[in-house]
C-alpha cells in the first residue's frame, strides 16, 4: 500500500470511530436520516486532522495536475471547512517548499458588519485560484453559498473538495453549477 492509501485507510477508521452514528437524525437540509456524520469530531482531532490534511492535499494536487491549474488557497463556509483548510495548509507546508504551500481562508455566512466588511477572511486575495471545501455535502447548498462569496470577492474556484459525499444529490447540484467535485470518501464507502 502507498502512503496515501495507508493514510486514507487510517482516516476512514477515525471517521467511523469518531464521526459516524446511526439513529434518527434531522440534517441541516431538513431531511431525515438513519445515520449522521459529524465530521468535526474528526477534523478537530489531532490524528484525524493530520490524516485528512495529507489525504485531501494529495487529492487536491492530483486534481490540480489533471486540470493544469495551480492552487493558491483552500477554504469554505465556516465552520465545517475551517479545520479542513488549516489541516491542508499545514500538510502543504510540511511537504516542503518544493511542493508549494497552499494558503487557508474562511468564508463567513454573512459579510462582517464592521472593519473592511469582508466575507472571505484569511490568506485570500482577489485573483487567487482556489479549491472550495466542505466537510460533508448533502444538497450542496452551503458549498454553493461559499463559492458565491469567493467569486464575489474575486476568487476563481477551480473545483470543490469534500471530506464526505453523502451521495444525496449535492455533488450533482454543484457540478451542474459548473464546479467539479472530488471527495475523500462517499457514504457508500463508510457504510460498507
Which architecture does CATH list for 3-191? 3-Layer(aba) Sandwich (3.40)
Q: What are phi and psi of 159, to 5 degrees?
A: -170, 180
Q: Where are the domains of the chain?
A: 3-191
d(CA 104, CA 153): 15
d(CA 61, CA 98): 13
Residues contacting residue 77 through CB under 8 Å, at least 6 positions apart: 107, 109, 134, 142, 143, 145, 146, 149
3-state helix, strand, coil in the chain (%, to 5): 45, 25, 30
Q: What are phi and psi of 165, to 5 degrees?
A: -100, 115
Cell of 28: 441541516
d(CA 169, CA 76): 19
Helices (H), 68-186: 82-94, 141-152, 170-176
pTM: 0.93
What is the per-residue pLDDT for 118? 82
> Mean pLDDT per segment of 10 residues, for the chain of length 192 residues?
93 95 82 88 97 97 97 96 98 81 94 73 96 95 96 97 95 98 95 84
What is the per-residue pLDDT for 112? 67
Task: Identify whether the C-beta of residue 153 lies closer than 8 Å to the C-beta of residue 131.
Answer: no
d(CA 103, CA 90): 9
Residues contacting residue 3 through CB under 8 Å, at least 6 positions apart: 54
Q: Among 90, 67, 179, 176, which Cα is nearest to 134's?
A: 179
Q: How many helices (H) and strands (E) does the chain have?
A: 7, 8
Amino acid at each position: 500500500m502507498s502512503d496515501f492509501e495507508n493514510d486514507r485507510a487510517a482516516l476512514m477508521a477515525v471517521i467511523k470511530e469518531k464521526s459516524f452514528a446511526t439513529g434518527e437524525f434531522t440534517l441541516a437540509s431538513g431531511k431525515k436520516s438513519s445515520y449522521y456524520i459529524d465530521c468535526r469530531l474528526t477534523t478537530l482531532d489531532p490524528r484525524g486532522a493530520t490524516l485528512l490534511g495529507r489525504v485531501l492535499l494529495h487529492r487536491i494536487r492530483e486534481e490540480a495536475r489533471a486540470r493544469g491549474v495551480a492552487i493558491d488557497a483552500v477554504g469554505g463556509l465556516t465552520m465545517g471547512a475551517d479545520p479542513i483548510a488549516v489541516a491542508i495548509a499545514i500538510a502543504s507546508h510540511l511537504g516542503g517548499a518544493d511542493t508549494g504551500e497552499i494558503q487557508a481562508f474562511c468564508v463567513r455566512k454573512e459579510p462582517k458588519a464592521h472593519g473592511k466588511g469582508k466575507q472571505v477572511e484569511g490568506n485570500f486575495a482577489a485573483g487567487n485560484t482556489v479549491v472550495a471545501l466542505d466537510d460533508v455535502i448533502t444538497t450542496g447548498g452551503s458549498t454553493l453559498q461559499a463559492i458565491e462569496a469567493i467569486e464575489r470577492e474575486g476568487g476563481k474556484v477551480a473545483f470543490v473538495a469534500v471530506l464526505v459525499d453523502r451521495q444525496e444529490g449535492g455533488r450533482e447540484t454543484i457540478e451542474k453549477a459548473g464546479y467539479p467535485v472530488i471527495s475523500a470518501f462517499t457514504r457508500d464507502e463508510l457504510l460498507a
